[in-house]
Amino acid sequence: MDYIAKFEQIIKEQLARVEMMKQQQDFIKYEELDKIIIGVCGGDGIGPAITAQAQRVLQYLLSDDVKSGRIEFRTIEGLTIDNRVKANKAIPDDVLAELKKCHVILKGPTTTPRKGDPWPNIESANVAMRKELDLFANVRPVNVPEQGIDWTFFRENTEGAYVLGSKGVHIDEDIAIDFTVATTQGTERIARAAFEFAKKNGKKKVTCITKANVIKTTDGKFLDICKEMAKEYEGIEFDDWYIDIMTAKLVDEKRRSQFQVMVLPNLYGDILTDEAAEFQGGVGTAGSANIGKVYAMFEAIHGSAPRMVDEGRDIYADPSSVVRGGAMLLAHIGYTKEADKLYKALDICGNTEKKLVITGRETGATSAAFADYLMETIEKL
């Protein structure tokens, strides 16, 4: 295929994607639902052990609404590496069908086979879930109260520099060209997600981060749409920064406490959230969310640690990351008071008091004991 024909094919694919987005429904309104179904998917390795403890904590916080029937927890089995290999699919059909019956999903880590592993090279369950459920917003909070840091990043998951990352064109031996994409529909939905989060969670400021002064067409479009949407949200301040200076301002002690919710294209979000996570101990300390208009998935961002299971140490695994994902789930469905309590408890138990220490071995606390510690702390708040 010559490069002109290849470029034409790329345009056709993106136009088809836009038409698909035009047909999508609006964001689900959880406050209008008679019942919210929370699916709990343990995954692989240490996943079932730590996710079960996160579920205990969420059920404790939501106990009144669980009793009334407003909240229902459903345990979804079958997203194990053995079951996925047996079905030869990243997500077996029966598991996917059960996931689609839920409104939100709390997910433990899953194993993605690598070269040399004893399994066939099936696709990542995470990647497949994002595609199947159209989870276009990657959301990561970073919270370090003692440093005045309370940030939530809304990174666009499906456009920008990554959507065509494997479809660049070698014009000849001297020239190679890659592409970045911004659509009205894709930008509107990530911007709406950021502003709605701010509105529901009492945040007073949304910041758009681009390089629109140089990447004028796509970044310019992203910024213009965010600016226009800001007019719909009275009481929420809006500003914008360029990605290069923003990386500096996050380490500026005088400035960084002024940021709350940040919305940004894919590549910039990938870079900036890794930098931001370092303030609270690194990427392994953060929970993560993948949000769409219909579904949302919240997860631990570390691996499945099969060696811990082989050595009988899964009961000593740290549940903090998936519990933090649970706190994000609570905020997403409108239970902000409960989410705030859980965030505070995680800070007290993990950073301030540290009455229990998790080492991953018999020398430390079990995940169940840590969950008990969290609930005891919440009771005192």
Per-residue pLDDT of the chain (381 residues; tens, 9 = 90+): 587 888 888 899 889 989 988 888 888 999 999 999 999 999 999 999 999 999 999 999 999 999 999 999 999 999 988 899 899 888 999 999 999 999 999 999 988 776 667 777 777 788 788 888 989 999 988 888 889 999 999 999 888 887 776 678 888 889 888 889 999 999 999 999 999 989 988 999 999 999 999 999 999 999 999 999 999 999 999 999 999 999 999 999 999 999 999 999 989 998 998 899 888 876 656 678 999 989 999 998 788 888 899 999 999 999 998 999 999 999 999 999 999 999 999 989 988 898 998 999 999 999 999 999 999 999 999
User: CA-to-CA distance for 220 and 238, rounded, in angstroms?
Assistant: 16
**Cβ atoms 370, 358 nearer than 8 A:** yes
Task: Enumerate domains of the chain plus CATH numbers.
Answer: 3-178+283-380 (3.40.718.10)
HSE value, Cβ hemisphere, 13 Å, CA-based, for 63: 6
The amino acid occupying position 4 is: I
Position of tokens 């009455």?
Answer: 355
User: CA-to-CA distance for 235 and 353, rounded, in angstroms?
Assistant: 36
Crossing angle of the two packed helices 184-200 and 3-22, in degrees rounded to 10 = 40
**Cβ neighbours of residue 19 under 8 Å, at least 6 residues apart?**
none
Helix (H) / strand (E) containing 261: strand 261-264
The amino acid occupying position 341 is: K
User: CA-to-CA distance for 28 and 35, rounded, in angstroms?
Assistant: 13
DSSP state for residue 45 in the 8-state scheme: T
pLDDT at 201: 86
User: CA-to-CA distance for 310 and 302, rounded, in angstroms?
Assistant: 18
Position of tokens 């965010």?
Answer: 226
Both tokens of 178, joined, read 């890659």
**Cβ atoms 367, 317 nearer than 8 A:** yes
pLDDT at 165: 67
Give the phi and the psi of residue 290 in degrees, each rounded to 5: -125, 115
Comparing C-alpha atoms, which of 77, 166, 84 is closest to residue 125? 84
User: CA-to-CA distance for 311 and 192, rounded, in angstroms?
Assistant: 46
pLDDT at 3: 79
DSSP state for residue 41 in the 8-state scheme: E
Give the phi and the psi of residue 100 in degrees, each rounded to 5: -75, -10
User: CA-to-CA distance for 239 and 237, rounded, in angstroms?
Assistant: 7
Maximum pairwise Cα distance, the chain: 67
User: CA-to-CA distance for 166 and 315, rounded, in angstroms?
Assistant: 40
Position of tokens 């904590």?
Answer: 57
pLDDT at 74: 97
Give the phi and the psi of residue 156 in degrees, each rounded to 5: -65, 130
**Cβ atoms 246, 212 nearer than 8 A:** no
Angle at 27 between CA 108 and CA 324, to 5 degrees: 30
pLDDT at 245: 96
